[in-house]
Structure 1
Amino acid sequence: MIFSPLFAPVTRRLSAALLAATFSVAAGSAAADDASIVLRGSDGWLFPGWGSLSEVDSRGIAASTALIKEAQQALAARGVKLQVLVLPDKTRFYPDKLPAGKALSPAVQQRYQTILTSLHQAGISAIDDEKVLRQLKDSGKDVFYRTDQHWTQAAADATAQATAAQAREAVPALNGDAGSGMALGSELKERRYGDLAERFLTPEQRKATGRETFTIRRQVAANSLLSDSAAPVHVTGHSMVQPYFGFPQKLSNSLDRPVSVNWKPGNVGQWILLLEYLESPDFKRNPPQVLVWQVFEPTYAQGPQASGLWDNASIMSADAWRQRLRAALGK
């Protein structure tokens, strides 16, 4: 794995300040559904209070897809294949655990497929990760942690394998040598509170909710060193794709090639995340053959101008975003 200068520190979990920022911003989009920043469901299940449970912003979805199409075309001119990885919302896998009186509307139940259809109709490559995770859950494995906003290692692994197959289909001959993928370390268990419980419940509520077991991988010593090899695949996204949850390691292992990644918390817009990578020295020196751009289902419709929903540093007009995209790609 290549740890580029854009790599955020590999931490056990997000800091309190970053988590607070993430949810204070995201909560605004869910205000119509619940006044709480965290939805406390049955059996100790917790859900982030972002994303509407009832409304779908169809115009926002169309606008976001149009901008992504511009990015795809500009990247293609530089010889880079774009893959968009839309991660489905936690609520759609555990609707029976939502608080009493809370349910996904029919439109929200179809929202993920609406987004995927929009991408496919625009000719943009995107796997059906809802299908991937649904099959995993149907096999008896959890795909999200009970008290955390993030996915399980099993979910990250399954998505990484599907993403690797997609990348190999797009570029059968990836640069680099066989054997340069990341070796996977042994698994270890960590018993703790999830981020939603730790940061946003009272001590009494935390105690009643209880800790849970997180499965992570030990880092193989040989992989702890920085690599000078150029990565043919790069991932840009949010905390779901940070190394702690295992996605980039499994992707590298499945591809048998190095993978680089830049990520920030969920309150940072996906629009600025992509620009930060494209404007970086890493991209200019070694543009990848495949760029995986991870976004979230609940916030897909939020454009770069979504004031009050992204952190202030992420806010820009769509035209400003286009200008920076073209400048970064030499258009």
Structure 2
Amino acid sequence: MSKTAQNIYVASFIGVLTLGFISSMSGVLDYKQPNTYSVLDGNLAKSFEDHYDKELPLKDIGTNVWAALDFVLFNEGRLGVKIGADGWLYSDEEFKPDPTGTHNLSDNLNTIEGVRNELAKHNIKLVMAIVPAKARLYPEHIGNNHASPIHADLYQQFHKAMDREGIMAPDLLATLEAAKPRGQLFLRTDTHWTPFGADIAAKRLSAAVTHNFVLPGDPQEYVTSTEKTESYHGDLTRFIPVDPLFKTLMPPPDDLQKRSTVAASQTEGADALFAESNIAVALVGTSYSANPNWNFEGALREHLQRDVGNYAEDGRGPVLPMLGYLQSDDFKNNPPQVVIWEFPERYFPMPNDLSEFDQDWVARLKNQGNEQNLALTGNR
């Protein structure tokens, strides 16, 4: 920014603080002491504090101002977001280095191997759905941001590891890149893919599953319909807290056209109670799978022509939902034939807090993977 523009912004900031101070003084004068409170106890101070917070949101004003200054002067948001170009926002997890990343890669690989081996004991096949980073699929909008060395070829490393360990992992990056001319695959202001991107990935995964495995039961037709387009402020906008004072500074919202998928028999008025109770395919993963806004679960149903049990969870990464699923009654009593594990690449070098699980069981699971890795290394 020019010196003049900087001076204007500093003056504006001082003006906002002055207005806030004037407002606070009027709020102080408006305060009336409740008759039920004594000056000698702490309730009077608490009463005044509650009144001040309610009537005089000076803290919110300060947050808006500082966020606006960071955004305009330095092109920065709060921890959690990277500001790209052309109104694009990215999760900072796709860029920041992790000093323990190399160890975490090995640990997560052991976990994946252990899960594969645990599923194999029940004759269940594992298919990895490695979701490429948004920055990898849309590098043209990252601006001045640069990924750390551990992220440079992370997707390729992940795929090579799966290939080395004999785990099926269709190349979603190549599939999504080929579809870029046909529509937007990731939301500009959100971490996640669009319903179109989710559909492209689901179609590729379904083709791999049906080509390599014979799923039980008869194919069932599913129908996907589109709903009206909505204005959508993505999850990454929360890390730019300029609303409401400087709302116009925000990147424009995305246009989100939601989709929904139902069995064709339901559209014809058939009784859904007679549908098959056995689930051939289970889906486990993150909010890419759990959030109905993207309709990834529905897209898999449509392209697989089978019902899908969804055990993905929001806000817990890919590993915790999988370990929870392996210990669930659904897994024990109604095991599927195939498990699709949706695993965003950025989680591959990240640690996991597994303290909620039995540590002996976790150690045995990881050891299965470690033993498999050692065996494969010894055979080279």
Provide TM-score, normalisation by structure 2: 0.66
- Between stretches 246-255 and 90-99, larger displacement belongs to 90-99
Shift of 1:253: 0.8
For the Cα contact (< 8 Å) 1:148–1:194, is it kept in 2?
Answer: yes
**Equivalent residue for 1:261?**
310
Q: Are 1:247 and 2:291 matched, yes or no?
A: no
Relative to structure 1, the CA distance from residue 210 to residue 72 in structure 2 (aligned partners, 3 Å threshold; closer, same or farther) is same
1:235–1:291: 8 Å Cα contact kept in structure 2? yes
Tell whether 2:229 aligns with 1:189: yes
Indicate yes or no: 2:84 matched with 1:41: yes
Identity of aligned pairs, percent? 27
Cα 1:212/1:166, change in 2 over 3 Å: same
TM-fit CA distance, 1:99: 4.3
User: 1:286 and 2:334 equivalent?
Assistant: yes
Query: What does residue 252 of structure 2 align with?
Result: 210
In structure 2, relative to structure 1, the CA distance for the partners of 1:202 and 1:274 (3 Å cut) is: same
C-alpha distance after superposition, 1:122-175 (max 9, x if no partner) = 1111111111111112x242211011111011110111011111211331x211
Q: CA RMSD in A?
A: 2.9
Query: Quick one: distance in 2 between partners of 1:215 and 1:241?
Result: 17
Counterpart among 140, 162, 166 of residue 204 in structure 2: 162
Distance 1:205 1:164, change over 3 A: farther
Picking from 233, 243, 263, the partner of 2:281 is 233
Report the CA distance shift for 1:143/1:157 in structure 2 as closer, same or farther (over 3 A): same
Tell me the secondary structure at the aligned position of residue 249 of structure 1. helix
Deviations 1:161-191 (A, max 9, x none): 11111211331x2112222x43212343112
In 1, distance between residues paired with 2:246 and 2:211?
48
Q: Deviations over 1:36-80 (max 9, x none)?
A: 221122221111122434569334223322221121122112010
| 1:89-138, Cα deviation, whole Å (9 max, x unpaired) | 111122232243x223565231110111011111111111111111112x
Q: Pick one of 174, 188, 194 that aligns with 1:152.
A: 194
The 1:250–1:219 alpha-carbon spacing in structure 2 relative to 1, beyond 3 Å, is closer
Could you say which residue in structure 2 is the equivalent of 1:29?
none
1:235 offset after TM fit, Å? 0.3
Letter in 2 for 1:235: L
Say which SS state the counterpart of residue 176 (structure 1) adopts.
Answer: coil
Residues 95 and 67 (structure 1 numbering): CA distance in 2 closer, same or farther, change over 3 Å?
Answer: same
Q: Is the 8 A contact 1:238 1:295 kept in 2?
A: yes
Q: Which residue of 1 aligns with 2:105?
A: 61
Number of aligned residues: 282
| Equivalent in 298, 301, 322 of residue 274 of structure 1 | 322
- Whether the 8 Å contact between 1:143 and 1:151 is mirrored in structure 2 is yes
Residue 308 of structure 2 aligns with an amino acid whose one-letter code is V
Q: Alpha carbons of 1:325 and 1:259: their partners in 2 closer, same or farther (altered >3 Å)?
A: farther
The question of 1:119 aligning with 2:150 is answered no
Q: Deviations over 1:194-232 (max 9, x none)?
A: 222256432155433122210111454828967552210
Q: Is the contact made by 1:116 and 1:126 (CA closer than 8 Å) also made in structure 2?
A: yes
Over alpha carbons, which structure has the higher Rg?
A: 2
Q: CA deviation at 1:313?
A: 4.7
For residue 349 of structure 2, give the secondary structure of its aligned residue in structure 1.
Answer: coil
Structure 1: distance between partners of 2:113 and 2:261: 37
Whether 1:80 aligns to 2:124 is: yes
Q: Which has the higher contact order (CA 8 A, sep 6+)?
A: 1
Answer whether contact 2:94 2:151 (CA < 8 A) is retained. no
Query: In 2, distance between residues paired with 1:218 and 1:252?
Result: 11
Secondary structure (helix, strand or coil) at the match of 1:127 reads: coil
Q: Does 2:185 match 1:143?
A: yes
Establish whether residue 52 from structure 1 lines up as the match of residue 95 from structure 2.
yes
Amino acid at match of 1:143: L
Query: Match for residue 18 of structure 2?
Result: none
Gap runs ≥5 in structure 1: 1-32, 307-311, 327-331
* Paired AA for residue 40 in structure 1: I
Secondary structure in 1 aligned to 2:322? helix
Query: 1:148 & 1:238 partners in 2: Cα distance?
Result: 14
Structure 2, unpaired ranges of 5+: 1-75, 368-380
| d(CA) in 2 for partners of 1:164, 1:85 | 11
Q: Tell me the distance in 1 between the aligned counterparts of 2:195 and 2:288.
A: 10
Partner of 1:329: none
Asked if structure 1 preserves the Cα contact closer than 8 Å seen for 2:261 and 2:295, the reply is no
